[in-house]
Every structure is written in structure tokens, then in C-alpha cells.
Structure 1
Amino acid sequence: MQINPAEEFMETGQRDQTATDPSQRIEDMEQEEGETDNVRKRIQPWTRQITVRGIITSAIIGSIYSVIAMKLYLTTGIIPNFNASAALLAFVFIKSWTKILEKAGIVSIPFTPQENTMVLTSAVACYSVTVQGGLASYLLALNKRTYEQAGVDTPGNNPSSYKQLSMGWITGYQFLVCFIGVFVLIPLRKILIIDYKLTYPTGMATAVLINGFHSTRVKEAKKQIRGFIKYFSLSFLWAFFQWFFSGKQNCGFARFPTFGLQAQKESFFFDFSLTYVGTGMICSHIVNLSLLFGAVLSWGVMYPLLKNLRGEWFPADVSEESMKSLNGYKVFISIALLLGDGLYHFVKVTYITITSLHGRMNRRNLDPVGSNQNVSTSNYPNKDEIFIRESISMWVGVVGYIAIAILSAIVLPIMFHELKWYYIIICYILVPALAFCNAYGTGLTDINMAYNYSKVGLFAVAAMAGKEHGVVAGLLACGLVKSVLSVSCILMQDFKTGHLTLTSPRTMFVSQAIGTVIGCIVAPLTFLLFYKAFDIGNPHGEYKAPFAIIYRNLAIISVEGLSTLPEHCLELCYGFFAFAVGMGILRDVLPTKIGKWLPLPMAMAVPFIMGAYFTIDMCVGSLVVFLWQKINSQKAELMVSAVASGLICGEGLWILPASLLALAKITPPICMKFLPS
């Protein structure tokens, strides 16, 4: 699917509201009499597909989703895939723009699927920096608070292993590690999209949505726009209303004891967050049920039992935030689930990739003539012709990649003395091969494995750097690998969308570059807005930043081994690791009608740290979709994505004024709190 830990996982667990069978929907749209030919006749040169209004719109949408993604990442760590939502929002913005100009008597250029795709690509590239740039995970793991949470007496967690987070070095780091990903797979775009005909389900579904917006079915598009605006307004006003009652920590509707005060102590309550409800509407039912299962297993069963073992399994006098207390079990069991599920999918996707490549090579050797005719015998030759004709020189990718790699090898060691230049060179030599494997696997399975490759970089570099510098070097190398692989994979998904919407690859490349530049500025600003306005990293607050402590402990384990684990934690980790691998195997071995309902360990791991409250919200969203589909399945298929997007964006937009009020030291006037009678 946007499993870094959890956010990459949501790309595979998302509910596709745009089409039940994207390829069939594309064929249906292609067969609409005369429509496709007319669209092709209207295709403009690639230089005119990139417009000023499109760049402005993409910057606005990318900034909105950067705020939303940052909020989700700092609270739950779960990021749904926003591609369909961003495509809808781009359509709403540009259509509203043109209508306003028309009423003012100003003639504007037509709004085309190609411009819609350009806006989508740039916006997704922008907010992806927020998600993949590690601001809420491996970079936040470098700050002093996360260092203290990991235990100042923990071996390997030495006082020199934390950094003061500042706009300057964060922005420079983002530009160096994210922008290079735009270049790495340019020479291979034709192979992946045209020759191998990889589906990239997310990119294909988004193309279906965009083509649908610009087809003759204007009535459906208008319904989606009205639904989005309605629920966007509702969500924004509800968030504004809630703010007045949240005067202090643990106050307001967000702490409403839905199931009673005792359940609230164990984090089981509905917190009235429409963002999580909307997220639950986008995610598949099994993702939401897996989250709930993980919450019940951890906070409902395991943690109450472990609390009774205080003084036996872990010291009774240590802080709750220490890794030697209950918190250690929370973090390391989550890591075991993440690594187990991630390792299984890594092996699975690698096997599928190697097998598929081997099969293609054999077919090409046996029938070279037939294989060379793949492009010319395509069902949609005009699409392929446009994609190939608007070529991007291989030298653009090669020179761009080498130039930024050399610049990184010079600048990054100056910024961080722990990160040696030869670590960077080694990473950048290996990354192109990893990027191809990751992009190929994503095209087959829709699972982005960048987070797994990044952990390999973390473990290897942390071990090479040793105890003194291993934590910092490992975390920074992790970001280097993950950012390149994620950005390149996202670009290839967008190339698939552009291929099906007849958008020039040059447009896609430039749009991705523009969005990445905007994102490298917007993402640090967004992060520092949250960092200054809210209590980031407080394990008892709203913004727990769960993956910061996970990444730091992964780095510590890399340099110190397993000696940092609390008593009997290793045995529990072995058990949950085996459980995660076993669930992956069973899901693939059992019949689909049974296997599809087995819990997803990657989703289960999140509430082990975060608590159960957000899982309740997401299950409510899943319940709404389930009932809607039972009552009116056609309307649900059309409107669920628009309604969910409105709920997410409305409350997400309120975060900006709320942050500014917090920075101005303006607090809500009322504290609504619930106490036992």
C-alpha cells in the first residue's frame, strides 16, 4: 500500500473505493463510443500540461495532506493511501477555480485529465516527504526526549547519540536523501510499465478515478464533490467545537469514557476523531479488525497481567517510561511483530520478483520476436506510443543520481560526523538494485517494501559504526535508503497513472521533482509546527510518536545485541515473531475465503504501543462502510471515498489554526473531564 512500519502497510490494506476491478473499468471507459479518441485529440504538449494553477493547487493540497499525515504519524503511525483522495481534491480545486473565473468573465484553459494527473503527482510527492522523510520516526528518534525514553543507562544509548532538531539541518537532509529518488529509476520506466506491463494497482485505480472525473459522467463527479464539501465542513466545525472543551491534558471529547472509566484507563474509548473514522472508511475491514484484535490482546489481556508481575519480571521502582519497565515489553513486542511480518513479506515479494523476472527472461530467450512485439500488440497502442514518444534521456537519471550521490557523500559527513562518507557511497551503490526490486515487487503486489530495506541499512551501518556512533549513523543511513526507495517507487506508481491518463512521462518527472522540492520545505515546517506547539513524544499524551522509540531501540539493538531487553521479554518476542510469520504463511496457504480474515500482524503491532482508542474510531468507520454497502452498494462505491476524504481533510485542516493558537499560548476556555461519582 502509504508498511514503513504501519504507514507503508496501509497501501496494501486500503479499501479501493474507485473500482472493484480497475483493469475492467479502464476497458469499459476505453470502449465508450468516441470518448477516448476525442480525449487523445485534445492532448496538449507536455510543456502545457504543467500549469501555474496546477503547481499552486498541488502545493496547497500537498501542504494539507502533510499536516494530516504528520498528525496521524505522530499519534498512531498509521497512514492510509491518500492518492484517490488527492485526485478528488485536485479535481474540486481546479473545477472551482475555473468556475469562479468564468463567473468573473475570464476565460481559462480547459481542465484536462493530464493536468489533474500532474496536480496529483506533485501533491503526492509533497506529502510523501512528510511520511517517508522520517520526521516522525528515525529523525525524531535522534532527539533528547527519545534518547531519555530509551533509558539513559541503557548500553549503546550514550549521551552523544542525540541531536537538537532544527529547521536548517532537517531541510538539508531531506533535500539530499529524498530528491535523489526522483532520478534512480528513470532508465527503467519503459521496462517496468510497458515491457513488463506491471499493474501497480494503486496507480491504476487512481487513473480510473481521474478518467472517470473527466468522462461524460459529470453527474457522478458532482455528487462526489458535494459529498466531499458537506463532510469536510462538518468535520472542520466539529473539530472547532471540540477545541473549546480541551483546556488541559486529558480533557475534552477526546477522553470521553465511552465504555466506562475503568475501560478508559486501559485506553478503550471512542475519542470522537473524525480523522480516524475517515481513515477507517478508507482502510479495509481486515486492517481495522486486526487493529482491534491487537488492542484487545495487548491492553485488554497482556498488560493487566504484566502489571501484576511488577517487582518480579521488572523492577517496581523504575519509571513507566523506562525500557526496563512495562514500556519495554510494549516496544519490543511491537518490534517483533513488525519484523516478523515484514521479514515474511520481504521473502515473499523477493521470491515473486525473482520468479517473475526469471520467467520473463526465459520467455524472451525462447521467443525474442514475440517479446519484441509486446508494445506494438498492446491493447492500447496509443497509450504506449505517447509514453514512449515523450522520452526522458537516460543520462538525466544517471547524471542526476551520481551528482546528488557525490554531493551527499561530501555534505552529510560534514553535517553528521558519525556518518562516514564511505557508508554513504556503499549505500548509494546498492540502492539502485534495491530500488528496482522494490518497484518491481510493488508493481506486482502493491506492497512497498522500502521500510524493510531501510532496516537492513540501519542494522548494517549501525554495526559498522560501533557503539560510540552506531545509533546516529544507523538512523541516518536508514533514512537514506528508505527515502530513495520510497520516492522512486511512488514515482513509478505515478508513471502508471500517467500512462493510463495519457499524461507525458516528462510531465510526471517534472511534477514529481516540483512536489519533492515543495515537500522538502513543507515537511520540516509542518513537523516543527507540531514540535513547538504540542507535547511530542509524551507517552501519556496525544502525540506519542510511537515509531521514534521503535527506531531508536532498533539502532540500540544493532550495536548492543539483545542485552537491552527486560526479563522474559526475549521469549515473548520470539513467540510474537513466530506468530507474525505464521499468520503470513497461513494467509497464503489457506483458501482465500478463510485466509483473508486472519489478522494482519503489521496492523496488530500499532496498538501495542498506542493504545486502543483510535482502533475504536477506525472500526466505527469500517462499520459505517459495511452498513452503507448493505443498504445501497452502488451509492457506497461512488461516495465512500469522497465522504472519507472530507472527514479526514476537515479535521486535518483545523490542526493548522489549533497549532497557531497553541504557539500563541491561547488555551481553550473549558476543561471537560469525567470523574468517578
Structure 2
Amino acid sequence: MSVERTFECEAVPTWREQLTVRSFAVSAVLGFFLSFIVMKLNLTTGIIPSLNVSAGLLGFFFVKSWTKILEKSGLLRHPFTRQENTVIQTCVVACYGIAFSGGFGSYILGMSSRIANQQDQGPSTAAINTKEPSLPWLIGFLFTVSFVGLFSVVPLRKIMIIGYKLTYPSGTATAHLINSFHTPHGANLAKKQVVALFKSFIGSFLWAFFQWFYTAGDDCGFANFPTFGLSAYDKRFYFDFSATYVGVGMICPYIINASILLGGIISYGILWPFIETKSGIWYSADLKRSDMRGLQGYKVFISIAIILGDGLFNFLAVAIRTAYDISRRKKQQSDASSLSFDEIRRTKMFLQDQIPTWLSILGYLILAAVSVVVVPHIFPQLRFYHVIVMYLIAPVLAFCNSYGCGLTDWSLASNYGKLGIFVFCAWVGVHHGGIVAGLAACGVMMSIVSTASDLMQDFKTGYLTLSSPRSMFFSQVLGTAMGCVFGPCVFWIFYKAFPLGSKGSEYPAPYAAIYRAIAMIGVQGTSALPANCLILCLFYFLMAVLLDLMKVVADRRKWRIRGFIPNPMAMAIPFYIGSYFAIDMCVGSLILFVWQKMNKRQADAFAPSVASGMICGDGIWALPSAILSLAKVKPPMCMKFFSGADYAKLGG
């Protein structure tokens, strides 16, 4: 069926008409609250599900409701179009995307003395190798580096979208969603989905509020309920009643949730108990639990080995696939006569409002020049020539990431960031602040390649909804600007209200310790590893590569086991923080599985909305919870669990 014939009788608004005050007002509200949710996920496990559906659905609901009120009162001047809906979705995703790509839970927090003092020794804890988060420099740094990626790939939009016809699966799915909203049947379904979202939102929020009353002390409340007994609780196996991760489990594929659980079983069930038996042999028995020379070092570095193995394999796989795809496309000749009505109309609209190439090049050069001055001022450990090198190689990396994302829907921004850590840590050296230099370089590289692929995804969405490239670009710029303010402000609330990254904190920020440990390896080499850790790291590195290789071969040959091969990246997270959240996510998978067995059509239509509501409700509670914490308001009760022997010692 032709999608565009459905909308053929509707006039396409100009790019200026697509950019409305109401769309940006709704985008600001949604962007702010979704930034809270992403920040909470970023500071707990680092697993961020796609919230594009929520952004598009809520944007549709709010503006559609507003226009209906105006229409009934006779004051409606501009109808709500799918192009305006696309602008809202683009702006919101760009805004809350900064809460993740801004590195608040990884390289930013990894620079702090709070993380450094937990795991470092020697010169790596010196003042030159730490930098405390501060609201002014966070906002200034993000404004300096977050827009560069937008200009780096603008000249390639025609080649990527029309020439190579890259799919950009997330962008395509978002476009189909928005197109369906603006048909009569789609609008009716969207209303029902919004109702389901708000019901689960309210239930999740109230449940989080109820749990707060029982958290007056350390390890108190439902989040520390020893579901499978105290022994399993000590091994980080328990259900913590988090609506957020039940919702995340409903969105994530089954294999991701199973991989996380498997990683927890291997690490906390087998590997760590075995290494603990080597206390006094492999490492000193007198070390603190947080000392990187002891068990903590094995947890961090083996997690890194799995992440690097998975990242390196995917990097090479995407690079090879990209090179092959480009060479194959050069040999093919396009046949204009085979284009469908939809493709002809979309191509015509996509080529109407062009963004001048000279403007994108000039914008890139100006922003690069600003960064050469500002970034070394914020991070004296970096020199101007370091920043120049980053901006010389950034366009190539941005192209590679954008192209690979178009093929696989997999952004490798974090892998480019880790590469930057190794290169610049080794270049600067530990005695000249190499750790902070490497983490800052990671931030620059991640921001450029991440925003570049995000913009190309938006161009694909705009292409499929007849939205102007200019409106897409301006909405991305405005959303990024919002994120550069909202992201640091939201992080600052968490930073002041909770002990982020601390042992036992409800916000452990696992990637902060992992990224700093990567920087330690960059400046110290393998000398940073405890005894026999290198052998274990090599084993798990190769295991990650082997699992990825098996997945590729199984997919190519269509083996039945291809859906049961674990994901190494998902396995790595519980190696460091345990698998308590994996139980929640598996519960989410179970709910979805039962729902699909009972009514698959209903589950497919409403499960993403219900899951998004659960994530949003529990996530938004973080705001009043932080305010109460800053105001020194404590919960009235503490619900805690003891063994019978400990209870007897307390006089029970």
C-alpha cells in the first residue's frame, strides 16, 4: 500500500510552518522529564531503552488535545500535521539524548575524586588527574562540543538517504509510527495507547512514592528485599521491586534480559566466590573491598575486557560491512523508472529545502576553532594541538558511525570514545593529567559521532514523513541546546542529592568506574591489573569475541540457536554491579511473554506504552525524591531484613 497516496490530498507545510511555538513548548516539557528518566537509568545500570515511541506518542497526544480544544472554540489557525509531530519527536530525542551522550554517568563522573579515591592509587589520584563536576563548566563544555557532529554529516544527507538508501531502522520505525498516528485508525489507536501509558505512569509513580516511606536508613526498603534468601541477597540476586526495570525488560529483547541474568550467574554465582578463595594468595587479604588491587579490580577489569571484546568485534564488523556495502553500491546503477510513487514524492520533497554545503563546512570550522580555545581552558591537561587532532579525524569517524548505524541501527559512539581514552591517555601521560585528558577526549569524540548518527536518523524520519531537512536540522539544533542545559541541571540535582558512584548507593553509576579504569590502563598499562587478572581478562575478551562471531555465523546460516546466543555487552554489566536488576527485567520479559500468549495483537500494540509509562512514572519520582533529600526530609520508617542469628544478637 502507498503511504503517500493516503496523505496526497493534504498540503505539505513549508519548513517554517513545520517549526511552531507549540511544538517547541511541548518538546521542552517532554525533553526535561525524559532527561530525568534517562539520567536515572544512566546512573543505575547504563542500559537505556529507546524512548522514541514515548516521545512521538506523548507529543502527538499533547498537541492533538490542544488543537482539538482550539478547533472547538474556532481559534485553530494551524492544524497539527505529521511534519510537526516529527519536529517534536526529533527535538525531544535530541534533548534527552544529551543526558546519555553527555557522559554524566561515565566519563564526567569518572573524572571526580569521588570515583578516583575509591579505586586508584598513586599519581592517578593526584589533583591533575581529577576534575570535580561543576554546573558552569558542564554546560559550557556541552555547548562547545555537542553541535559539531550536526555540521559534520549534513553534506552527506543526500548520499546516505537517497543515494545509498540506508534503512536507519530506528528512524524508519519512528516515521511509520508518526505516519500511522495521523491516519483516522492510527489516531484512535494512539488515544488508547496514551490512556494505557498514563495508567501505568500513575501506578508506577504511586508505587515508588509508597516505597519511599520504608527507606529511612541504609539497605532499607523494598529495593533490598531478599527475595531468594539472604545468601542469594549477598550475591546480588534479588527482586528489588523496581517498576523502571520491569518496564525496561518489557522493551528489551528476551535475549538481552537473559544475557544479563547469565552474566550475573557467572560472575556473582561462580567467578567471584572462586576468586575470594584466593584471598591472601592472588591479593592481600587486608585490602578494602573497594581497592582496585583486590576483588574490586577483577570486577572492573574483567567487565572492561568483555565490553572491549564486544566493542572491537562490532567495530570491525561494521567497518567491514560498510566497506563492502559502499563497494557494492558503486557497481550498481540506480534505475529511476523503478521508483514507486512514495519514493518519487519523498525524494522531491527531500531535495526542495537544501542546507547549503558551504554553511555546514563553515559551521564546522567555526565550532572547531571555538573548541580549540575553550576545551583546553576547561581541561588544561589537553593542549590545543590535541583538540585539533580530534577535529581532523572526527568527520571520518562521524561518517563511519552514521553509515554503520544506517546499516545495522547500532551506534558505536561509545567505542570511538574508548578509543579516544586509550590514545590521549597514552599521549599525555599520567604525570601530566593523562586520565582527565583521555576522559575529556572521550567526551569530545562521543559527542561528535553520536549527534552525527542521530541527525542522519532524523533525516531518514523526515524523508519518510515529508518533513523538510531544514526543519529537521533546526529542531535537532534546538533540542541539543535544550539538552545542554537540562542534562547538566538534572545531573546536578542527582549529584547533590545522592552519593553517586558510591558503594551501596541506589545510583552506583557503574560506567564511571569502568571508564576511569580504562583510562588507568591507558596511562599505566597492564601494571594496573591485580595478579592473574590479565589471564582472566584475555579469557573473557576472547569469550566476547567468540560469542559475537557465533552470532554472526548463526544469523548468516540461519541456525536455530541464533536466538539463544548471549549478548556479551549485556553480560558485562552484572559482572560489576550484580544482577538484581536482571531479575526485574526478566519479570518484565515474563509479563510480556504471557501477555503475547494470551493476546498477541493487544500486547504488540500496548506493551511499549505500558512499559514506557512504568519507566516514566518511576523515573519521574526521582525528582521529588531528590528535592526531599536536598531538603533533609527523611522517610519515617526503615524496613530491613536480618538472619535469625543476627536478630537474636539484637535481642529479638
Conservation of the 8 A alpha-carbon contact between 1:235 and 1:646:
yes
> Sequence identity of aligned pairs in percent?
48
Deviations 1:587-625 (A, max 9, x none): 111234212211000000001111111000011111111
1:475-514 equivalent positions in 2, closer than 5 A: 475-514=439-478
Q: Distance in 2 between matches of 1:374 and 1:253?
A: 63
Deviations 1:90-125 (A, max 9, x none): 112222333444566643532111111100100000
Sort the Cα spacing of 1:144 and 1:193 in 2 relative to 1 into closer, same or farther, 3 A. same
Q: Distance in 1 between matches of 2:495 and 2:125?
A: 23
1:417-496 equivalent positions in 2, closer than 5 A: 417-468=380-431, 469-496=433-460
Deviations 1:555-594 (A, max 9, x none): 1111111001011111100000000000011111123421
Q: Distance in 2 between matches of 1:245 and 1:412?
A: 45
Matched, 1:30 2:3: yes
> Quick check: 247-256 or 192-201, which moved more?
247-256
Identify which of 373, 376, 389 aligns with 2:352. 389
Conservation of the 8 A alpha-carbon contact between 1:537 and 1:545:
yes
Provide the residue aligned with 1:596 in structure 2: 563
Identify which of 633, 639, 656 aligns with 2:600. 633
Deviations 1:479-510 (A, max 9, x none): 10111000110111111111111111111000
Identify which of 481, 485, 489 aligns with 1:521. 485
What TM-score results when the alignment is normalised by the length of structure 2?
0.96
Matched, 1:96 2:65: yes
Sort the Cα spacing of 1:492 and 1:159 in 2 relative to 1 into closer, same or farther, 3 A. same
Matched, 1:212 2:177: no
Provide the residue aligned with 1:250 in structure 2: 219
The residue identity in structure 2 corresponding to 1:666 is: V
Provide the residue aligned with 2:623 in structure 1: 656
The residue identity in structure 2 corresponding to 1:294 is: G
Aligned-pair CA distance for 1:131: 0.3
Sort the Cα spacing of 1:82 and 1:592 in 2 relative to 1 into closer, same or farther, 3 A. farther
The residue identity in structure 2 corresponding to 1:580 is: A
Conservation of the 8 A alpha-carbon contact between 1:157 and 1:471:
no
What TM-score results when the alignment is normalised by the length of structure 1?
0.92
State the secondary structure of the residue aligned to 2:8: helix
Q: Distance in 1 between matches of 2:339 and 2:642?
A: 72
State the secondary structure of the residue aligned to 1:245: coil
Q: Distance in 1 between matches of 2:237 and 2:224?
A: 10
Aligned-pair CA distance for 1:245: 1.1
The residue identity in structure 2 corresponding to 1:178 is: S
Aligned-pair CA distance for 1:187: 0.3
Provide the residue aligned with 1:260 in structure 2: 229
Matched, 1:177 2:140: no
Identify which of 258, 262, 274 aligns with 1:305. 274
Q: Distance in 2 between matches of 1:592 and 1:50?
A: 48
Sort the Cα spacing of 1:100 and 1:246 in 2 relative to 1 into closer, same or farther, 3 A. farther
1:71-110 equivalent positions in 2, closer than 5 A: 71-101=40-70, 106-107=75-76, 109-110=78-79
Sort the Cα spacing of 1:238 and 1:312 in 2 relative to 1 into closer, same or farther, 3 A. same
Identify which of 61, 76, 81 aligns with 2:30. 61
1:135-284 equivalent positions in 2, closer than 5 A: 135-153=104-122, 156-217=124-185, 218-284=187-253
Sort the Cα spacing of 1:442 and 1:116 in 2 relative to 1 into closer, same or farther, 3 A. same
Matched, 1:673 2:646: no
The residue identity in structure 1 corresponding to 2:384 is: W
Aligned-pair CA distance for 1:362: 2.8
> Quick check: 298-307 or 345-354, which moved more?
298-307
Provide the residue aligned with 1:42 in structure 2: 11
Aligned-pair CA distance for 1:181: 1.5
1:507-586 equivalent positions in 2, closer than 5 A: 507-586=471-550
Q: Distance in 2 between matches of 1:374 and 1:526?
A: 52
Gap runs ≥5 in structure 2: 645-652
Conservation of the 8 A alpha-carbon contact between 2:61 and 2:191:
no
Identify which of 113, 123, 128 aligns with 2:82. 113
Aligned-pair CA distance for 1:136: 1.2
Between the two proteins, the alignment pairs up a number of residues equal to 639
Conservation of the 8 A alpha-carbon contact between 1:75 and 1:610:
no
Deviations 1:604-652 (A, max 9, x none): 0001111111000011111111111111111111111111111111111
Aligned-pair CA distance for 1:328: 0.5
Identify which of 404, 407, 418 aligns with 2:370. 407
Provide the residue aligned with 1:8 in structure 2: none
Aligned-pair CA distance for 1:156: 4.2
Matched, 1:318 2:287: yes
The residue identity in structure 1 corresponding to 2:602 is: K
State the secondary structure of the residue aligned to 1:136: helix
Provide the residue aligned with 2:647 in structure 1: none
Conservation of the 8 A alpha-carbon contact between 1:194 and 1:375:
no
Aligned-pair CA distance for 1:377: 6.4
State the secondary structure of the residue aligned to 2:203: helix
Q: Distance in 2 between matches of 1:300 and 1:602?
A: 19
The residue identity in structure 2 corresponding to 1:152 is: Q
Gap runs ≥5 in structure 1: 1-27, 364-369
Conservation of the 8 A alpha-carbon contact between 1:157 and 1:556:
no
State the secondary structure of the residue aligned to 2:255: helix
The residue identity in structure 2 corresponding to 1:387 is: F
Deviations 1:142-173 (A, max 9, x none): 101111122233x6443421112110111111
Calculate the aligned-residue CA RMSD, in Å: 1.6
Aligned-pair CA distance for 1:322: 0.9
The residue identity in structure 2 corresponding to 1:626 is: F
Conservation of the 8 A alpha-carbon contact between 1:375 and 1:381:
no
Deviations 1:218-270 (A, max 9, x none): 33222211111111111111111111111122111111111111111111111
State the secondary structure of the residue aligned to 2:241: coil
Conservation of the 8 A alpha-carbon contact between 1:195 and 1:375:
no
The residue identity in structure 2 corresponding to 1:137 is: S
> Quick check: 554-563 or 157-166, which moved more?
157-166
Deviations 1:264-311 (A, max 9, x none): 111111111111111111100000000000011111111122222211
Matched, 1:624 2:595: no
Aligned-pair CA distance for 1:209: 0.9
Q: Distance in 2 between matches of 1:118 and 1:483?
A: 21
Provide the residue aligned with 1:606 in structure 2: 573
Sort the Cα spacing of 1:385 and 1:557 in 2 relative to 1 into closer, same or farther, 3 A. same
Q: Distance in 2 between matches of 1:375 and 1:401?
A: 37
Q: Distance in 2 between matches of 1:171 and 1:384?
A: 38
Conservation of the 8 A alpha-carbon contact between 2:200 and 2:610:
yes
Aligned-pair CA distance for 1:58: 0.8
Deviations 1:43-101 (A, max 9, x none): 21110111111111111111111111111111111111111221112112222333444
Q: Distance in 2 between matches of 1:376 and 1:95?
A: 34
Q: Distance in 1 between matches of 2:337 and 2:221?
A: 61
Sort the Cα spacing of 1:274 and 1:398 in 2 relative to 1 into closer, same or farther, 3 A. same
